[in-house]
Chain A
Amino acid sequence: MAESIKIATRESFGKALCELAKEHDDIVVLDADLAAATKTEIFKKAYPDRFFDCGIAEGNMIGVAAGLAAAGKVPFAASFAMFATGRAYEQVRNSVGYPRLNVKIAGSHAGISVGEDGATHQCCEDIALMRTIPGMVILNPADHYEMIEAVKAAYEYNGPVYIRLGRLAIDSFNDPDNYSFEIGKGIMLEDGDDCTVIATGLVVYEALKAVRELKEKGINARLINVHTIKPIDKDIIIKAAKETGKIITVEEHNVIGGLGEAVAAVTAENCPVPVYRIGVEDTFGHSGPALGLLAEFGLDKDGIAGKISELMKK
């Protein structure tokens, strides 16, 4: 197993773009004056001729990306999740989603772990917004190695993709030598039969630590990493519902419209079992250090473990 490295998935994204661009001339990168933050600056330095800053104008950026895709390029358009999916929602819907253009949208600084910038920049609605657009693929990688593979998969897939990026540096836990990424396929990280924890993105590693800790306390939970929220892996969810009878979802997103509801829709229609959602409880975030906020919102290892223990008593 390769050594764990601590790196924000936004940085992994920037590096992945550079690697891909070596082999693929059709990759073009757009940003809206946030290249230093979304880490597209890594690409910008390596490939200045294929990088276009659109200025603080996210709606136009998405439209330009649509035009580039219509003309045969593969544009990656990056901004903060709040602006890429919120400010530019309608451009994503009408200029990218409806014509099903081959545009990759990267939303950085997703979730409350943005930290000190506070509520206006802590986007906990991006997954909900993107889920409503027909045909949109939503990827939410959980660590460095997963992000590298997700960016490759997004490039290889012909159609619109939203990729969620985090600001906070996090430990990697996947083993790159024994890892494969497939759009729409969840990954079981721990087996168990008392319940199934389904997590996505930045909080997967926190959930992993929580599940491992609980095993020592006699709760034998299964853990599934759902890196693709749409299309969601129905098979792995139905199997988990049948075999463990209880599901707990964990996401750094509003419990409305995110992973939890996507999972609940699958179980409700195929194998009804209780689904409990751990996430941001329909509230706005606020300023503070990222780790402190994750703890406050119950999305760190201790918070997740505590909530699972509590739910197992139900």
Chain B
Amino acid sequence: MDNVSISFEKGEVHALIGENGAGKSTFIKTLSGAITPTSGTIVFEGKEYSHLEPRQAIDLGIAVVYQELIQFEAMSVADNIFMGVKDEEGFILDDKTRVEKSRELLKIFDCHVDPATLIRDLSIANRQIVELAKAIVKKAKVVVMDEPTAAITMAEQEKLYKVVKQLKESGVTVIYISHRLEELFIICDRVSVLRDGQYVTTCDIKDLTKQDMIKYMVGRELTNAYPPKAPHSDEVIMEVDNVSGNGVHDISFKLHKGEILGFAGLVGAGRTELMHVLYGAAKKEAGTIKINGKEVNFRSTADGMKAGIGLIPEDRKFQGCFIDKPIFWNNSISCIDTLTKAGVVDTKAEMKLAQEYKERLKTKTPTLTQLTSGLSGGNQQKVVIAKALAALPEILIFDEPTRGIDIGARYEIYLLMNELAEQGKAILMVSSDMEELLGMSERIIVLHEGHQSAELQKQEFSQEKVLACASGV
């Protein structure tokens, strides 16, 4: 980050946008005291600071709700809210008042969770509310929210917007980071844009359009958000008939060669769970799956791969790749047996494979021996995709393919999906990003609480319709 100056006013909701690697996280970390800036000052309520220590930032009233929530999983909501609050630090904890106080705090946010519930039993959205309640207890004047809507459902998003409005009305400044530009129009007053660690501009949201924001963020115009795709063939590659298991029930659909079939649903509707059943990562309890007309019964992920299915898991870091291993290593692990001579890995073939996929997916990296952890989110995702493609699947499952990825890299992934489909591969796509799902899919299957509630054709697509089916209305 280089020479960034932004001013935040009291009681405003100020969005901070930019592609991955633009410096948003670094900026927040200087505010929360996690890192020390090399130059420049932070002025808070008229007082100047060269840098902030974490404790100092808390005392000043700066609270950060990180994207990956840092909470005490095995403790209750009340305990989490009051952890580290100074006037609460007695020798003996008064659980009763804590619970009562917590209940009242949560009521502000229209959240009626029992404060004695353990954090790990809450949904992500409720956990975020707990963080916000914590900020209020600590009398935060500035609340930073890092992509709060990345992992929550549409209904929960609506609730979160209300919560943000409430914070604003009580005079709290909210710094709001998001990749979802549509929502900024709902909740923000002003928008600041960062690009490559540089400050670009600050504007009132009412003077901006989505195209403007994208232009500022990427430094060029992106006209079409979703590239056009050739229509698919009529040849059925996968036939799923009344499949149950892993929390989903009676799912049936046909998948054609060259098709992108979308799966919509709220968090917990069983989309990922269904994908795991189809891939062999979870047990199928009933129903039949046919691939190219032949019935299959997977007992392991290896069976699923052998049958030509590839999975790009929803959680890039914990399921998708080996984050502290090099790129080439990740690329070859799914097909390592085909790269061996008498059990010995052929390093030349391995490097050739990695080079091939690097060029094909346009992965930006200095070397193939670069550790995956050192790449940006978009490039990490390309490593995950390369790993799946290396096993030469005919059916690809993209589970949240662009979560937390910036616009430029997203577009490249969309192009790649279309290209794969046009080569005759079939794609199953799960996404919580409604625009993306509507833009990319040719058909959408909607799940509601583990059951299939609708199958929508392209001409019936609308956000309202999908949302209605997903909510079981």
**Chain A complexes with chain B:** no
The chain A residues found within 8 Å of chain B, CB to CB, are: none
The chain B residues found within 8 Å of chain A, CB to CB, are: none
